[in-house]
Amino acid sequence: MRYLTSGESHGPQLTVIIEGVPANLEINVEDINEEMFKRQGGYGRGRRMQIEKDTIEIVSGVRNGYTLGSPITLVVTNDDFTHWKNIMGAAPISEEEQDNMKRVITKPRPGHADLIGGMKYNHRDLRNVLERSSARETAARVAVGAVAKILLKQLDINFYSRVVEIGGVKDDAEYDIQTIKDNIDKNDVRVIDDSVAQQMRDKIDAAKKAGDTIGGIVQTVVEGVPVGIGSYVHYDRKLDGRIAQGVVSINAFKGVSFGEGFKCAELPGSEVQDEILYDAEQGYYRGSNHLGGFEGGMSNGMPIVVSGVMKPIPTLYKPLNSVDINTKEPFKASIERSDSCAVPAASVVMENVVAFELAKAVLEEFHSNHIDQLKEQIEAQRQINIEY
């Protein structure tokens, strides 16, 4: 399973082609749209999220509600494009027209791809960089993840994501999976403990008032993953490694951890390794889940617990020093329409990115042309954990 996304932030559309989804999988576009809406929500987001409501159009690979096994193409139309037709259209325009539009960007924003992207591709209008480096692309990645989640749900593999920290305000208790399930999406900051939600909103408001932004930590929990997905043999097939790559590739994500993660540095080994137990019904299981569902780069049957840290949004109302690429003069970095905190939305992005990496690994492990073939193989794999 693989995918390619295309599209600029203010271009006509985002497009994604997904290859390798087994045939006969029932796809309801509303399930994909639900994830899209979730990504757009959350306290602290800017005006664009109010202007646009992302909806998916499926233009290939699905017929009468079922996948064909051929590449699936999903399209998200950018409603805002009507206002950007001249600036972002494919047709050539004169320099004069460009000047009239006054949209040429020569002032790179710190913390964005603007300056280095401009150097790398020799662009003199930094809009050529920011249109693609924008987190708008994460909408396409959520669409892919939504398809992956539909596939994995058929295998009884389910995803839950939550916010653990925003700007130092924490909801980092270790909840059992039932508590997470019961309290998911209860508030607009996506925390389990409702009493923390207002403190987080206050923190976001305070940052906004100060012209600043804040980041945080998000967590994805995956339930029902069969044992043995991944590899202890090959570095590039280790599932934790692949998930880590996927997570850190999300815009603004600066770190990833599994289970106790960085706390492992201070805990003794006896509080980090999970003891092996057995019962006839569920087979082998662990007495705890400090390692977040992984041993030796493979899933061990316990819930996968992944955390990711997002830096504060780089576009600030409180401007930072930068240098104009034409005049080489210093300036205070300009403000584009921007979020003050996108951590709740980022938790949705991460959940879907993890879903894609897991679906990809599952389909490599159990090559399947159609969904029933895949289900049979997963069932057999679950039996191994009991009969071994």
Ligand X SMILES: Cc1cc2nc3c(=O)[nH]c(=O)nc-3n(C[C@H](O)[C@H](O)[C@H](O)COP(=O)(O)O)c2cc1C
Q: How far is the CB of 261 from ligand X (least distance, A)?
A: 20
Q: Assign 3-state DSSP to the chain and report helix, strand, coil percentages, each to 5.
A: 40, 20, 40
- The reply to whether 76 sits near ligand X by the rule CB under 6 A is no
- Provide the residue count of the chain: 388
Find the binder of ligand X among 240, 295, 339, 357 (CB under 6 A): 339
Chain centre to alpha carbon of residue 25: 23
Identify the H or E element spanning 129.
Answer: helix 127-133
Name which of 248, 253, 262, 264 is nearest 357 in CA terms.
248
Window of 130-138, 154-162, 351-359, 362-370 that interacts with ligand X by CB under 6 A:
130-138
Asked if residue 261 belongs to a known ligand binding site, the reply is: no
Contact between 113 and ligand X per CB under 6 A: yes
Q: Is 24 in the site for ligand X (CB under 6 A)?
A: no
CA distances from 229 to 308, 352, 378 (A): 21, 18, 11
Closest by CA position to 346, among listed 164, 200, 123: 164
Angle between helices 137-153 and 343-365 (to 10 degrees): 50
Q: 132-151 mask for ligand X (x: CB under 6 A)?
A: -xxx--x-------------
Task: Identify the residue among 143, 147, 148, 252 touching ligand X (CB under 6 A).
Answer: 252
The smaller minimum CB distance to ligand X, of residues 157 and 355, is found at: 355
Considering only 159-167, 197-205, 244-252, 297-305, which stretch makes contact with ligand X by CB under 6 A?
244-252
Q: Which parts of the chain are beta strand (E)? A: 2-6, 13-19, 56-60, 62-63, 66-67, 72-77, 158-166, 169-170, 216-223, 253-258, 276-279, 283-286, 294-295, 298-299, 304-310, 321-323, 330-332
Tokens (6 digits) for 309: 């840290």
Judged by beta carbon, residue 157 or residue 218, the one nearer ligand X is 218
For residues 27 and 313, which CB has a smaller minimum distance to ligand X in the complex? 313
Span 298-327, contacts to ligand X by CB under 6 A: 311, 313-315
The reply to whether 314 sits in an annotated binding site is yes
CB 15 within 8 A of CB 75: yes
The reply, when asked if residue 313 is annotated as ligand binding, is yes
Q: Does 220 help bind ligand X (rule: CB under 6 A)?
A: no
112: contact with ligand X by CB under 6 A: yes
Question: Residue with structure tokens 């790398």?
Answer: 120
Query: Would you state the structure tokens that stand for residue 384, as one six-digit string?
Result: 């191994």
Which span (16-24, 107-115, 173-181, 277-285) binds ligand X, by CB under 6 A? 107-115
Among the residue ranges 50-58, 162-170, 203-211, 343-351, the one whose residues contact ligand X (CB under 6 A): 343-351
Task: Rule CB under 6 A: say whether 187 interacts with ligand X.
Answer: no
Binding residues: 39, 45, 132-134, 251-252, 296, 311-315, 337
Contacting residues toward ligand X, per CB under 6 A: 46, 111-113, 133-135, 138, 250-252, 311, 313-315, 338-339, 342, 345-346, 349
